[in-house]
């Protein structure tokens, strides 16, 4: 991708915490901005003064680099600010993403989006999902946190009784596999991809400090479905997690949007994904400028 002219652009990177993953995202994005003469602004939402928030306008870019700051994105974004959303009004609750995926007919495990403590309904839901074992997922977690494999009705009732109410749970069909696939989407294409390999007996392949991760390229249909999964949410950047069964059928598990842990892909492949993101937003800045009457022009 080519690098559009920056013309004193600012890149606001929103975060609510620091961690090794977030630190790496900051490092790569700041380097990409420096290379393009873009001012990188680290914006910690926990330290922000809500009586004096910055006013963003033409030439500014807004990017969420970690979980949490979605409300701040909605506060700061406007029609003159470049974001990875197709429209600044599309800032969403990522927990609802599975519904538009299902409505659009994308391949995904059978899913019950709202659980109950009613035993008769729970039994019906298990049958719908193909019988035991099934998956329960507590919404809002990452790196496999909150994903549970349930093997019996007594275990299901026990978990639901204990957890439901404080935590939103969904039930999903179990896809038997020993890997999970991550496809990184930017705009209308998959720009990078890799595979997590399961270690030991844990059904989750993307957990732990020493994950087994390898670069991998995927068939065109998988790439098309990944792009559609992200774009359906009104977003132009994200990491789509998929599973593949023994017959080679793929299933979308979730889209990590409007950010994803892109440094893992960048470190594996050597592709400058951070630079691609900055260039993508700079191109939007230029399109915005074409439609806005700037002072003095």
Where are the chain's structural domains?
10-91+273-291, 110-173, 176-257
User: What is the reported pLDDT for 3?
Assistant: 43
User: What is the reported pLDDT for 163?
Assistant: 86
* N-term to C-term CA, the chain: 29
Q: Shortest CA distance to 143 belongs to which of 259, 4, 267, 241?
A: 241
Per CATH, the number for 10-91+273-291 is 3.40.50
Per CATH, the number for 110-173 is 3.30.1490.20
Rounded to whole angstroms, the Cα distance separating 36 from 67 reads: 26
Could you tell me if 76 and 12 are in contact, meaning their C-beta atoms sit under 8 angstroms apart? yes
User: Would you say domain 176-257 falls under CATH 3.30.470.20?
Assistant: yes
Please give the full DSSP string across 274-290, using - where no structure is assigned: HHHHHHHHHHHHHHHHH
Reading the chain (297 residues) residue by residue, the pLDDT tens digits are: 444 444 589 999 999 888 888 999 999 999 999 999 999 999 998 888 988 999 999 999 999 998 766 788 888 999 999 999 998 877 755 556 888 899 899 999 999 988 989 999 999 999 999 999 999 998 766 666 789 999 999 999 999 998 887 678 999 999 999 999 999 999 999 999 999 998 766 665 566 556 799 999 999 999 999 999 999 999 999 999 999 999 999 999 999 998 889 999 999 999 999 999 999 999 999 999 998 866 555
Residue with structure tokens 């593949």? 244
- For the record, the structure tokens of 187 come out as 């705009």
Rounded to whole angstroms, the Cα distance separating 240 from 254 reads: 6
133 preceded by a cis bond (ω within 30 of 0): yes
Rounded to whole angstroms, the Cα distance separating 220 from 126 reads: 33
Residue with structure tokens 């009457």? 293
Q: Shortest CA distance to 63 belongs to which of 95, 37, 28?
A: 28
Q: Shortest CA distance to 152 belongs to which of 165, 170, 171, 133?
A: 133
């Amino acid at each position: 991708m080519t690098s559009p002219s920056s013309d004193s652009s600012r890149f606001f990177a929103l975060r609510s915490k620091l961690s090794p993953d977030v630190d790496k995202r900051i490092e790569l994005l700041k380097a990409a901005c420096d290379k393009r003469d873009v001012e990188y602004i680290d914006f910690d939402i926990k330290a922000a003064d809500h009586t004096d928030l910055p006013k963003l306008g033409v030439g500014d870019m807004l990017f969420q680099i970690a979980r949490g700051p979605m409300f701040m994105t909605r506060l700061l974004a406007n029609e003159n600010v470049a974001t990875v959303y197709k429209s600044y009004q599309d800032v969403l609750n990522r927990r609802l993403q599975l519904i538009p995926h299902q409505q659009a007919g994308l391949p995904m495990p059978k899913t019950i989006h709202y659980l109950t403590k009613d035993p008769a309904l729970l039994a019906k839901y298990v049958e719908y999902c193909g019988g035991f074992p099934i998956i329960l997922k507590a919404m809002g977690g990452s790196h496999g946190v909150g994903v549970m494999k349930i093997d019996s009705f007594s275990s299901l009732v026990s978990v639901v009784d204990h957890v439901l109410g404080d935590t939103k749970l969904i039930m999903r069909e179990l896809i038997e596999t020993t890997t999970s696939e991550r496809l990184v989407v930017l705009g209308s294409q998959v720009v990078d991809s890799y595979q997590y390999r399961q270690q030991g007996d844990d059904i989750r392949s993307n957990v732990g400090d020493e994950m087994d991760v390898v670069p991998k390229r995927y068939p065109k249909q998988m790439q098309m479905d990944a792009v559609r999964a992200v774009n359906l949410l009104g977003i132009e950047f994200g990491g789509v997690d998929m599973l593949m069964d023994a017959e080679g059928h793929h299933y979308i598990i979730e889209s990590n949007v409007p950010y994803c842990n892109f440094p893992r892909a960048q470190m594996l492949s050597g592709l400058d994904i951070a630079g691609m993101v900055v260039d993508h937003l700079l191109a939007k800045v230029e399109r915005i400028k074409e439609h806005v009457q700037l002072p003095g022009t």
